[in-house]
Amino acid sequence: MRRARGAFLSGFLLLAACAGLDRAEAASPSCTPSLTASADGSFAQAGWNSTPARLSRLAALTRDRFAAAARRLCAAGVLKPTDVARFRRLVVQNGEGATEPLVYQDPPMGPSVFIFQFAFQDGGPPEPAAFEQALRCWKYPKRAGCGED
């Protein structure tokens, strides 16, 4: 009987410890952003195809590639989960003179709004590696290959 009670108590303590871990994991930020995206008026202003259907598809694909790059960089330790948690809204912007994709914030828009600028014109978003480069430069702007040359 004593052995059965000991096993029961050990099992109960193990279960309680695991429940505590679940709560701690749930409270910690993850590497998965919860992100919405929309295209701004820059496409129409530049005279590119700005139909709602095109911009909706473009924003969704850009959001998906951005989120995937953020997850990869977070898993690799380049971004922290707290960085990724900040990505709540993505504004997709056509940048006529942009030679490389750029991620930046416009403070009046709020701390969780990020702008992804690229010379989209009438095409699609850049390749996935370009999203990683843009995010690396956002996080470490003085890194080689980032910023104004």
Q: How confident is the model at residue 32 (pLDDT cuts 50, 70, 90)?
A: very high
Q: Is the pLDDT of residue 10 over 70?
A: no
Predicted TM-score (pTM) of the model is 0.79
Element (H, E) at 39: strand 36-39
Lowest mean pLDDT among 41-55, 93-107, 130-144: 93-107
Q: Which residue has the higher pLDDT, 16 or 50?
A: 50
DSSP-derived letter for residue 31 is: S
Average pLDDT over residues 18-27: 44
132 close to 108: Cβ distance less than 8 angstroms: no
Q: Which residues does residue 89 pair with via DSSP β-bridges, in sequence order?
A: 36, 113
Confidence band of 14 (pLDDT split at 50, 70, 90): very low
* CA distance linking residue 94 with residue 128, whole number of Å: 17
Q: 105-122, pLDDT tens digit by residue?
A: 999 999 999 999 999 999
DSSP 67-131: HHHHHHHHHTTSS-HHHHHH--EEEEEE-TT-SS-EEE--GGG-TTEEEEEE--TTS----HHHH
pLDDT at 69 over 60: yes
Q: What is the pLDDT of residue 145?
A: 85
Is it the case that residue 125 has pLDDT exceeding 50? yes
Mean pLDDT score across all residues of the chain: 84
Neighbours of 126 (CB within 10 A): 18
